Amino acid sequence: MEKTIHLLFSYGTLQSEKVQLENYGRTLKGKPDILTGYRLHKIQITDSSVLAKSQLEYHPIAIKSENKADFIEGLLFEITESELAKTDNYEVSQYHRIRETVDSGKKAWIYVAKIE
């Protein structure tokens, strides 16, 4: 049995029950939280496996903001180590995973825009 539990802040398609079932084989229970200092943009998804799961051509993507008043509302999920790896596989190459502190004071993984 996996012991390591990770916190994942989701602001997009990972909140979808369909995406969760297809990605993890279960639905996740999330708690509302906020990520301050970021804003949302949209990116076009071309990966066919991601499109099949989300059924959305455009996904939101978090970008670090210079404006401290910017924030993103989302859900904080508890996931296992293997589910975190599955999330890495689900997210397309424009995203990368970092740890940030959300407004509740907890440190969570979040997928944000990759800075080129």
Domain that holds residue 101: 5-113
pLDDT over 60 at 2, yes or no: no
Instruction: Quickly count: other Cβ atoms within 10 Å of residue 2's Cβ.
Output: 9
| Residue corresponding to tokens 């979040």 | 110
What total number of domains does the chain contain?
1
pLDDT score recorded for residue 116: 59
Q: What is the CATH number of the domain that holds 18?
A: 3.10.490.10
Burial (CB count <10 Å: 0-12, 13-18, 19+), residue 13: buried
CA distance linking residue 63 with residue 43, whole number of Å: 11
Q: Report the predicted TM-score, pTM, of the whole model to 2 decimal places.
A: 0.89
115 confidence band (pLDDT: 50, 70, 90)? confident
pLDDT score recorded for residue 98: 96
CA 71 to chain centre: 15
Helix (H, G, I), strand (E, B) or coil at 28: coil
| Strand locations in 1-116 (E) | 5-10, 31-36, 38-44, 58-64, 71-80, 95-101, 107-113
What's the pLDDT tens digit per position in 52-79? 888 888 888 999 998 989 999 999 999 9
The mean pLDDT of 5-28, rounded to a whole number, is 95
